[in-house]
Amino acid sequence: ASLEDREITLPAAVCEKMLAVNEQFGFPAEKPLPAKLSSEQASLTVSDCQLVGTKAIVKGNASVTVAALCDGQGGPVLTEFTAPFSQIMDVGAEDISAYSVKPEITGAYFDLIDTISGGKALDMELHAVLQLVCSKQQKLHLVADAYSNLMPAQLICTNQEYVLSSNPQKKRIQLEERINLMDSCAELLHVFASPSRVTGEGDKLGVSVNLDFLYRNGEKRLSSCRRTMTTAMETDGAELHLLYIRPVQVTVRPEGEYADCGVMLEIAYTITEKTVIGSVEAVVLNDEQRYVQDALPTLTLVRPSGESLWSLAKKYHSSEEKIRQMNEDA
């Protein structure tokens, strides 16, 4: 019998937990006091996940960028805030070898409030879902093949299908497009970029990104518009489980009513695939048709490319040990 050891990574646990991030941010004293929020953008990023027994400690950051209109200011003032978060999740399994965490914002609330000192603060409340997928390695010890050098042998084989999941992977893709703003852009104030839609077609992954432009038009008035850029990523037929998609770099070069835009997206994902592992469960020997050993020629064998001692022994009703003995100096 040919024995084989296989090590595969299988999903061991999947759990979800609601997450709420409540925070108040004070606006910097060196900036004008905001009077009204014009646009907001929030995102969650997981920075670390520690497994302790059957518990997972997930840590990350909530980031928010707001554009606020200020009294006496001709344009909006942009301010960025960051708040850490942590969450303990019950995995229910031990000996985890790999994991992936997917954060998804389900609701967001923003408001300007007055502070005791007479300033302004941003009141933020984010609601999200954390999805944790854990995997662990499993060792398989199986009989991959068998034969008899005395008589014909019928192998009774079984196939077992496993769903495998890879460790988290990251990839960056670039989107470039010339966009019509439908209005002359005299001064670009800010651009918010946010992924809006992900679709899978065949061996391609389609990604759409919304761009929210805030600018002054030819008449020096504030103007805004939303445009969408799309692209596709080759998946080679693999089934991807997306963890997050986020823009890491946005460049815009306005020219009249048009703007040359470039967006660099970072995509984190795991690959899910099915594999079939076959093994020999039993062997049925045919004692009535025994091989005539004396009729077999005595051969000195040279292993060709792609052939193994196992396959030669099986073909000539011999054994790997006998072949080695007959070719000690080969």
Q: Tens of pLDDT along 172-190?
A: 999 999 999 888 999 888 8
Tell me if 134 sits within 8 A of 167, measured CB to CB: no
- Whole-structure pTM value: 0.68
Q: Averaged over 24-37, what is the pLDDT?
A: 86
Quickly state the pLDDT bin for 74 (edges 50, 70, 90): low
- Secondary element (H or E) of residue 315: helix 309-315
pLDDT per residue as tens digits for the range 270-280: 888 888 999 99
Nearest 10 degrees: CA dihedral of 52, 56, 57, 61? 150
Please provide the average confidence, as pLDDT, over all residues in the chain.
Answer: 87
pLDDT at 1 > cutoff 80: yes
Share of the chain above pLDDT 70, in %: 95
Q: Residue 226 pLDDT more than 80?
A: yes
**Residue 285 tokens, joined:** 């020997």
Which residues are CB-contacts of 6 (< 8 A; sequence separation ≥ 6)? 139, 140, 142, 277
Share above pLDDT 90 across residues of the chain, in percent, rounded to a whole number: 33
pLDDT of 98? 78
Whether the per-residue pLDDT at 296 is higher than 70: the answer is: no
User: pLDDT value at position 223?
Assistant: 85
pLDDT above 90 (res 18): yes
Would you say residue 298 has pLDDT above 70?
Answer: no
Q: How many Cβ atoms are within 10 Å of 48's Cβ, its own excluded?
A: 10
Strands 55-70 and 77-90: antiparallel
What is the per-residue pLDDT for 258?
Answer: 93
**Intra-chain end-to-end CA distance of the chain, in Å:** 25
Which pLDDT belongs to residue 300? 63
Q: Are strands 98-114 and 185-201 parallel, antiparallel or unpaired?
A: unpaired
In terms of Cα–Cα distance, which of 233, 101, 241 is closest to 164? Answer: 241
Q: Is the pLDDT of residue 202 over 80?
A: no
